Amino acid sequence: MFPQNTKILVVDDMPTIRDLVKSQLRALGMKNVLEAGDGQAGFTVIENAMALGLPVELVICDWNMPKLTGLELLKQLRASDEFASLPFILLTSESERDQVTEAILAGVSQYIVKPFAAKAFEDKLKAVWNKLGKAS
Strands (DSSP E) along the chain, which ranges?
Answer: 7-11, 32-36, 58-62, 88-92, 110-113
Domain range list for the chain: 7-131
Q: Kindly report, residue by residue over 48-105, the tens digit of the pLDDT.
A: 999 999 999 999 999 999 999 999 999 999 999 999 999 999 998 867 778 888 999 9
pTM of the model: 0.95
Q: Does the pLDDT at position 135 exceed 90?
A: no
Architecture of the domain delimited by 7-131:
3-Layer(aba) Sandwich (3.40)
